[in-house]
Amino acid sequence: MKIREDYEYVGWRRLLHWVNGDPLEDYLPQEKLKRDSLRDQSEIEEQRRQNQATLIRRVRDWLHEHGMEWYQRCYRFFAVLVALAMITVLLLTVSFLPEFGQPDNPVNNEVSQRYIEDGLQETGAVNIVAGMILDYRAFDTLGESHVLFIAAASVLILLRMDYGKDGKVRKDSGLVDEGYDRKYEPRNDVILQTVTKMLFPMIVLFGIYVILNGHLSAGGGFSGGAIIGAALILYNNAFGFKSTRRFFTYTVFKWVSFVALTSYALLKTYSFYTGANHLASGIPLGEPGAILSSGLILPLNICVGCVVACTMYTFFTMFRKGGM
Amino acid sequence: MALVQNFPFLSIILSLSGGVVCSVLKGKNARNYCLFVLGVILIFSLSTLGYVLRTGEAYNYMMGHFPAPWGNEIRVGVLECLMASVFSAVMMLSLLGGMHHIFEDCEKTKVNFYFTMVCLLTSSLLALVYTNDLFTGYVFVEINTIASCALVMVRYRSGKALVATTRYLIMSLLGSGLFLIGITILYDLTGHLLMQNIAQSVAMLFATGTYAFPLAVIICLFSMGLAIKSACFPFHTWLPDAHGNATVSSSAILSGLVLKGYIFLLIKIFYRVIGMEFIFQDKATNVLFVFGILAMILGSLKAMREQDLKRMLAYSSVAQIGYVYLGIGLGTTAGLTAACLQIIVHAITKPMLFITAGGFMDVSGGSKQFRDLQGAGYRDRLGGLAFVVGALSMIGIPFFAGFVSKVLLTTASIEYASLKTIIALATLAISTLLNACYYIPAMLTLFTHPKEDRFGSKPIKLHRSYIVALVVLIVFNFAVGIFSQPLTEAIQSGIAMFR
């Protein structure tokens, strides 16, 4: 058997040395030569410490530079994986569900049957949906309109800026007046302003129509209110805050939503109370199809419409640098 | 129909419109109105509780002129009334305890919105407790989500609170989304939203064996959605930030009540909508059991490493929620009783601890780090006393409230007699030790005289509302700890009415 002369320096030995943490010079022949010729023991120690320090620094630097990146990569990968698993499970579930639109589906039971067959008679509303949300299941809708209100209130907490008497943001308000975006108002865009002048009354009128006919045709407080809110936003974009402030300020928002929601709650309290105690409510249902019919649904639609319009416009103004 | 029977409905409406009224009032008036509303609700809930205990049976209350499957309905039993009373009382005390912090942390012109949020939150909690209709539940879950995020957000001058709110909002909306998908699929299978009607249809579906897979997915979606919102263990990551950075009252309300509202809804769904035997069949209880156990251990371990008092308390909430899920996970009536009692115990103890944390911050230069809190127990003696009571209760020392719920949990798991018993008992023992491991050092820190006297050692003058809140909560704690028998019996009779 032939033993290599430089058996000290074969790969395996080098690996062993490296694992043991010996200095490079021990197992690299050139380094060994250098050591023998040039360096004494203390220099080797110094070299070894430097090597270690370099290694640690390199690892730390790598983590510093790439660690976050790698973490985010893994994070994204697993997030996508979880989302895909979720999608698969939900799609699989849908494939098990009863087929859409079949007459013998479980959803076609006595509940929807009564809504469709007796809805007109019991609520007086030609629009069955209005009868359902504002009479049969009015409690849910009461909660839902308060969801709108609470969303608007949260945005007001976060974004409303309090202007002092000098027209600037108050110092103690905790918010910084970032670039006053009303500097360039009014924008005097002739096309926009002319079109708005023509369209604004029509849109508002249409919104009011949708609200007032909520119990007669498709529509109601939610959709009509959204239309009026859109009209207000258009007007604001065309003529600027100076014009809208003449008729819509924070005070207006506050009191309109207060009156609308409180009267909604009061009307419904009366109706719930009488209903639960089996008293006659004494509210005439009127003749189905007439504008003054279907009991409380018309006033409730008006209330909901006011709340929705105010909320939409408030969201818009608040997200444009917080103020009306 | 007796007048008392109208009270639950009236208290929901009163707090809903109370929120709207608070939005137009000025700060101080809004506070007074909010406290007035909460007081009225407390009286209403207590009198309804008395009525239901006397008649001994639950009743359904028709919301409007149309009977249940067509109109909305709420359901009032002993357990519901008990929860409503506890929730409104604790809500009021949490507000009182952190009142001066609210006025410091909120912007001056927007303080009234804080009370708006509190009123709406109360209404949503009451509705979650009383509802007999899944969709009504969802609507009020929405209100609850937005209101509780807003309660964290009001302290927005601290950037941390904003980041915490964002995380909380995203997680919470994810939970709502899963819950809504669950309701949709369930409606598609049964055609109903009213709880007992769904229960009938689900029983039929299980009997015939059709739709087994969608039903399992529904159970999974409900449990997961509500577990995210109530910070059950693997989904708890939003909680320490949100509870640690909010203003004092918000932390107290969030950890004492908001989490409990969702858990109560989950219990309702398990027992009144899907039916416990089917939950058993699908092994959902086992999953919740494991989550509960992990929460008990890992929540405490995380709490031990915290250097921040409020964050420590927040992690302790994670552990305590684990106890509730352990009780639900046992799946027996005894387990449920223990879980309900644990809900009440935690609801009266954790707000007290958070309020004292606020008091210690007052006397320690606004810091909530343990190194600044040395000797805070001497500077604020009442707070120190309340903290000791709360901490001993959380550890589970006899005569304090926490002991009772732990004893009930132990007996419930012994009755169960299977592998779960051993695991539950071992975990209860370990987690009690772990609780002691972080509450006792916290107490020692509070009662160690600091080396340098930075904040003065004389007791400062305390706010009157703070004193009232702490004293009442301490009394509650001892009352529950010593006279727990009637409470347990009330819960048992409530659960018997639950079906």
Q: What is the pLDDT of residues B340-369, one digit of tens each?
A: 999 999 999 999 999 999 999 888 888 888
In this structure, are A267 and A178 located in the same domain?
yes
| Alpha helices (runs of H) in chain A, residue ranges in sequence order | 11-20, 29-38, 41-62, 68-96, 110-123, 128-131, 138-159, 190-212, 221-244, 250-276, 297-319
Q: What pLDDT does residue A79 have?
A: 94
The residue among A30, A49, A82 that closes a domain is A82
pLDDT digits (tens, 9 = 90+) for B218-245: 999 999 999 999 998 888 889 998 988 8
The residue among A28, A59, A82 that closes a domain is A82
Query: DSSP 3-state assignment of A164?
Result: coil
CB contact under 8 A, B188 and A108: no
Domain-embedded: residue A34: yes
In this structure, are A167 and A70 located in the same domain?
no
Which of A143, A261, A265 has the CB atom closest to B139's CB atom?
A143
Pick the residue with more confidence: A113 or A201? A201
Indicate whether A309 pLDDT > 90: yes
d(CA B133, nearest CA chain A) in Å: 10
Distance (Å, rounded) from C-alpha A139 to C-alpha B68?
Answer: 12
Q: What is the DSSP string of A165-182?
A: TTSSB-GGGS----S-TT
| Helix and strand totals (H; E) in chain B | 22, 2
DSSP designation for B273? I
CB contact under 8 A, B113 and A258: no
Indicate whether A240 pLDDT > 90: no
Indicate whether A61 pLDDT > 90: no
Indicate whether A202 pLDDT > 70: yes
**Region of poorest pLDDT, from A185-189, B42-46, B306-310, B320-324:** A185-189
Indicate whether A265 pLDDT > 90: yes
Give the bridge partners for B73, in sequence order.
Answer: B62
Pick the residue with more confidence: B252 or B281? B252
d(CA A148, nearest CA chain B) in Å: 9
Average pLDDT over all residues of chain B: 90
Instruction: Kindly report whether the peptide bond that precedes residue B441 is cis, defined as omega within 30 degrees of 0.
Output: no
pLDDT digits (tens, 9 = 90+) for A143-159: 999 999 999 999 988 88
Which of A107, A109, A136 has the CB atom closest to B71's CB atom?
A136
Domain-embedded: residue B376: yes
Token pair 């009191």 is found at A255
Q: Collect all residues of chain A within an 8 Å Cβ-Cβ radius of residue B10.
A: 269
Indicate whether A28 pLDDT > 80: no
Q: What is the mean pLDDT of residues B321-348?
A: 91
CB contact under 8 A, B64 and A147: no
Q: Collect all residues of chain A within an 8 Å Cβ-Cβ radius of residue B247.
A: none
Domain-embedded: residue B98: no
Inter-CA distances, B55 with A282, B46, B76, Å? 32, 14, 12
Inter-CA distances, A224 with A119, A141, A310, B393, B488, Å? 22, 16, 12, 55, 52
Domain-embedded: residue A116: no
* Strands B72-76 and B59-63, bridge-based pairing: antiparallel
Distance (Å, rounded) from C-alpha B266 to C-alpha B258?
Answer: 13
Mention every residue, 6+ apart, whose C-beta is less than 8 A from residue B407: none
Mention every residue, 6+ apart, whose C-beta is less than 8 A from residue B156: A157, A158, A174, B162, B165
Domain-embedded: residue A73: yes
Q: Give me the domain span that covers residue B486.
A: 283-499
Q: How confident is the model at residue B426 (pLDDT cuts 50, 70, 90)?
A: very high
In this structure, are A199 and A253 located in the same domain?
yes
Mention every residue, 6+ apart, whose C-beta is less than 8 A from residue A6: A29
Domain-embedded: residue A226: yes
Q: What pLDDT does residue B347 have?
A: 93
Q: How confident is the model at residue A29 (pLDDT cuts 50, 70, 90)?
A: low
Q: What pLDDT does residue A291 have?
A: 82
Domain count, chain A: 2
In this structure, are A49 and A194 located in the same domain?
no
Structural tokens at position A58: 């390199």
In this structure, are A145 and A292 located in the same domain?
yes
Q: Give me the domain span that covers residue A154.
A: 125-319
In this structure, are A78 and A138 located in the same domain?
no
Q: How confident is the model at residue A267 (pLDDT cuts 50, 70, 90)?
A: very high
Domain-embedded: residue B195: no
pLDDT digits (tens, 9 = 90+) for B4-32: 889 999 999 999 999 999 999 988 999 99
Pick the residue with more confidence: B385 or A33? B385
In this structure, are A63 and A129 located in the same domain?
no
CB pairs under 8 A between A and B: 173
Domain-embedded: residue B382: yes
Which of B116, B133, B157 has the CB atom closest to A174's CB atom?
B157
Domain count, chain B: 1
Which of A106, A137, A160 has the CB atom closest to B71's CB atom?
A137
CB B94 within 8 A of CB B351: yes
Nearest CA in chain A to B159: A174
Indicate whether A102 pLDDT > 60: yes
Taking alpha carbons only, the member of B36, B137, B51 closest to residue B95 is B36
Taking alpha carbons only, the member of B166, B157, B32, B158 closest to residue B107 is B157
Pick the residue with more confidence: B457 or B253? B253
B189 and chain A: CB distance < 8 Å anywhere?
Answer: yes
Q: What is the mean pLDDT of residues B264-275?
A: 90
Q: What pLDDT does residue B90 have?
A: 94
**Region of poorest pLDDT, from A67-81, B377-391, B439-453:** B439-453
In this structure, are A50 and A138 located in the same domain?
no
Domain-embedded: residue A2: no
Distance (Å, rounded) from C-alpha B497 to C-alpha A258?
Answer: 39
The residue among A50, A82, A114 that closes a domain is A82
Pick the residue with more confidence: A128 or A183? A128
B188 and chain A: CB distance < 8 Å anywhere?
Answer: yes
Which of B1, B108, B133 has the CB atom closest to A276's CB atom?
B1
- The H-or-E segment that residue B89 falls in is helix B78-97
| Alpha helices (runs of H) in B305-369, residue ranges in sequence order | 309-330, 333-363
DSSP designation for B332? S
Average pLDDT over all residues of chain A: 83
Name the most confidently modeled range: A122-131, A184-193, B423-432. Answer: B423-432
Inter-CA distances, A248 with A233, A235, A255, A271, B460, Å? 11, 11, 11, 32, 48
Angle between helix B195-208 and B212-229 (nearest 10):
140
The model's pTM? 0.89
Pick the residue with more confidence: A201 or A22? A201
How many C-beta neighbours within 10 Å does residue A231 have?
23
B213 and chain A: CB distance < 8 Å anywhere?
Answer: yes
Domain-embedded: residue A115: no
Indicate whether B142 pLDDT > 90: yes
Largest CA distance in chain B: 74
Indicate whether B392 pLDDT > 70: yes
Q: What pLDDT does residue B298 have?
A: 92
CB contact under 8 A, A265 and B20: yes
Q: What is the DSSP string of B91-137?
A: HHHHHHHTHHHHHHHS-GGGHHHHHHHHHHHHHHHHHHHHB-BHHHH
Domain-embedded: residue B399: yes
Distance (Å, rounded) from C-alpha B401 to C-alpha B394?
Answer: 8
In this structure, are A253 and A307 located in the same domain?
yes
Q: How confident is the model at residue A31 (pLDDT cuts 50, 70, 90)?
A: low
Distance (Å, rounded) from C-alpha B65 to C-alpha B12?
Answer: 18
Taking alpha carbons only, the member of B305, B154, B320, B99 closest to residue B231 is B320
- The CA radius of gyration of chain A, in Å to the nearest whole number, is 37
Indicate whether B407 pLDDT > 70: yes
Domain-embedded: residue A109: no
Q: What pLDDT does residue B461 have?
A: 80
